Amino acid sequence: MSRTRTVALPKDLYQRAFVESFKKLDPRVMMKNPVMFVVEIGFFITLLLTFVPNLFGGASDPFYNGVVSLILFVTILFANFAEALAEGRGKAQAESLKKTKQDTQAKKVGKDGRVQVVSSTELRKGDLVIVEAGELIPSDGEIVEGVASVDESAITGESAPVIKEAGGDFSSVTGGTRVVSDRIRVRVTTDPGESFLDRMISLVEGAKRQKTPNEIALNTLLVSLTLIFLIVCTTLLPIANYVHAAIPVATLIALLVCLIPTTIGGLLSAIGIAGMDRVTQFNVIAMSGKAVEASGDINTIILDKTGTITHGNRMAAEFVTVGNTKSTELNRVAAQSSVHDETPEGRSVVELAKKQGLAPAELELPGSEGVEFRAETRMSGTNLANGVIIRKGAVDAIKKYVAEQGGNIPADLDEKANRIATAGGTPLAVVEGNTILGLIYLKDTVKPGMRERFEELRRMGIRTVMCTGDNPLTAATIAREAGVDDFVAEAKPEDKIALIRKEQAAGKLVAMTGDGTNDAPALAQADVGLAMNTGTVAAKEAANMVDLDSDPTKIIEVVAIGKQLLMTRGALTTFSIANDVAKYFAIIPAMFMLAIPQMSALNIMGLATPQSAILSALIFNAIIIPILIPLAMKGVKYTPMSATKLLSRNLVIYGLGGIIVPFVGIKLIDLILSGLNLI
């Protein structure tokens, strides 16, 4: 199961965020958020009017100007507080990671082979270091010699050590992790400041987060709306003078602030930072906010079969005889073919033979020699001391081997092998000398709940494709059992790239998972590439996300988080714009009621006085920001459904709700103000 990284928030986080809120009042910082920058300018103008009431000619109420100025100041602080709080959470995570990063001593191997102890900060890409049991790995690298058990809990939070070895897909090691046993030689793959841990720290620090394309587009829309309403409010002054309706400058500023999308403007940065933070809490490091957003728009997910959809440990489930072979004879030879095979698969063959009554003495083979599996031959086995050769392997490989040895192929071999493949298993043929005795039925079971998870993705409108090196019969059975939409059998690395490009050519966004060097091209080609932390450096560099738990199925959760981010931003934008409708009915009638009594017909909320109406709308505009901060940080709850249903639901909740809530809120504030006789 996937695990969420939970970082305890410091008790003084809110206090620090409050202090940061004041620091962000610097106009040079505020300019990065044009909507709130306009509010800040309005604050300075109303503050001047408080002390110089006739600054722009005509008389104005200093007390009223001061109240407007105070509310605007609080509005800016609330918006800054939302962003500072989101950044503070990221910085808290960064601090916990910085504790992991420390200057360690490294045993560097010189060109002459001599070992020299140096600081880890002196290591450069290409250097060789030796790390022994109990020592910290000084920098990111790849094991070039040896096998070791490595404690990665400092990075992943997982207490169980993992086995790392030279060659293959489990050779990558991360600086700051500890070797628990044995001794390894590591080639450094990064320069100081460029390690995986360094990148993690910089990525989780919200202050260094770059805005995503969608966020930039929304920000452009907000700026455009702000400019439009600024022009509208500016032209209201000459219009009011023409109809002999005196409108105080503070009231015009209050109208502008209420009309521009201040709610989403104040929360936009917090939503993006919190979205990245949620991915990090899920133990996934996103290399950019763009990757998180892209995951929310994914149309197709490409998944490997072994270890992702299935458990990955193929176990012997049955021995199937062919020809005239007796079951006891097949049991013996199958077990003897696996005596030297220390893989889970090999051990399961021996265990099954024992369960079926094989005598322990049959497994004592003095002088025998084990033959490891090789990709070229696709066979493994045992050479007995008496010269007898025993092999097990892929059916077609064994058939070719037997033909070369002058043996015969049993008539029922293919039929029984196909039956095993059709059932979702993998058939291994067993041969002694040049005689095929039968088949080992290896079964790899689908992980529990996978069908339900793929059904969930289907409801999201996402197509799932299983890629596997298995034969088409086995692939079809597993695909049917797991419930994926499509599958590609006997897939090679280039087939995965071709599939991704085909989907992208059709205008779809594609996600995939991988851990090996051969997966790197496909991970780079995919719109969202999730690499396993246990995988190779090439895979992690090619991907735009890294899963610290190395759980390939986590791509499903990543997609949900991406959709939640997009939903949260869309929902709060809808709510913010819908808010303005209620504010129109509060402020506009209040501005003109004295000069144009007929405008009172629009005062459908029955607000007490023009000043009370304006201040009530302004106060609501300020307090709605902190009320929505928890929603911006946590995100809108995502329920898998079609895009049409999702849009309809959000329009009802956040569109209609965004209209109703301000009517209620403004009226309540007006009742309080009029009841206290403050205005």
* Residues noted as catalytic: 304
Task: Outline where 356-471 has alpha helix (H).
Answer: 395-404, 413-422, 450-459
> DSSP state, 102?
-
378 is an annotated ligand-binding site residue = yes
Q: Specify whether the CB–CB gap between 468 and 491 falls below 8 A.
A: yes
- Chain-centroid distance of CA 232 in Å reads 42
515 annotated as belonging to a binding site for a ligand: yes
Q: Is 60 annotated as a binding residue?
A: no
Q: Which two tokens stand for residue 249?
A: 């400058």
For the four alpha carbons of 615, 616, 619 and 625, in that order, the dihedral sign comes to: negative
Spell out the residues 6+ positions from residue 220 whose beta carbon is closer than 8 angstroms to its own. none
Under the phi-then-psi rule, with left for phi > 0, alpha for psi from -120 to 50, and beta for the rest, what region is 449? left
Give strand pairing partners of 439.
Answer: 320, 429
Contact call for residues 120 and 103 (beta carbons, < 8 A): yes
User: Rounded CA gap, 323 and 510, in Å?
Assistant: 48
CA gap 494, 620 in Å, rounded = 58
Find, among 584, 567, 590, the residue nearest to 673 by Cα.
590
Match 């301000």 to its residue by tokens.
Answer: 662
As given in the structure block, the two tokens for residue 118 are 């140096």
CA distance 562 to 560: 5
How far is the CA of 299 from the CAs of 149, 279, 365, 480, 638, in angstroms?
A: 39, 19, 55, 20, 17
496 is in an annotated binding site: no
Name the residue among 488, 486, 443 with its Cα closest to residue 469.
488
Q: Are 311 and 318 in contact (CB under 8 A)?
A: no
**Burial classification of residue 619, based on how many CB atoms lie within 10 Å of its CB (0-12 exposed, 13-18 middle, 19 or more buried):** buried
Is 375 annotated as contributing to ligand binding?
Answer: yes
Tokens of 210: 């770059």
373 belongs to an annotated ligand binding site:
yes
The rounded Cα 435 to chain-centroid distance in angstroms is 53
Question: What token pair was written down for 629?
Answer: 């901060």
What is the C-alpha separation between 147 and 56, in angstroms, rounded?
Answer: 79
Residues in the chain: 679
Q: 3-class SS at 431?
A: strand
> Which tokens sit at 382?
């045992």
Three-state SS at 318: strand
Residue 50 in marked binding region: no
Does 377 belong to an annotated binding site? yes
Angle between helices 62-100 and 34-51 (to 10 degrees): 140
**DSSP code of 527?**
S
In the numeric block, the tokens 């809108």 are attached to 636
Q: Give the ranges where 511-599 is alpha helix by DSSP (H).
A: 520-525, 537-542, 555-592
Contact of 429 with 395, CB cutoff 8 Å: yes
Helix (H) / strand (E) element for 380: namely strand 379-383
DSSP string, 225-276: HHHHHHHHHHHHHHHHHHTT----HHHHHHHHHHHS-HHHHHHHHHHHHHHH
From CA 232, how far away is CA 497, in angstroms rounded?
53
Binding-site residue positions for Mg(2+): 515, 519
Binding-site residue positions for ATP: 341, 345, 373-380, 392
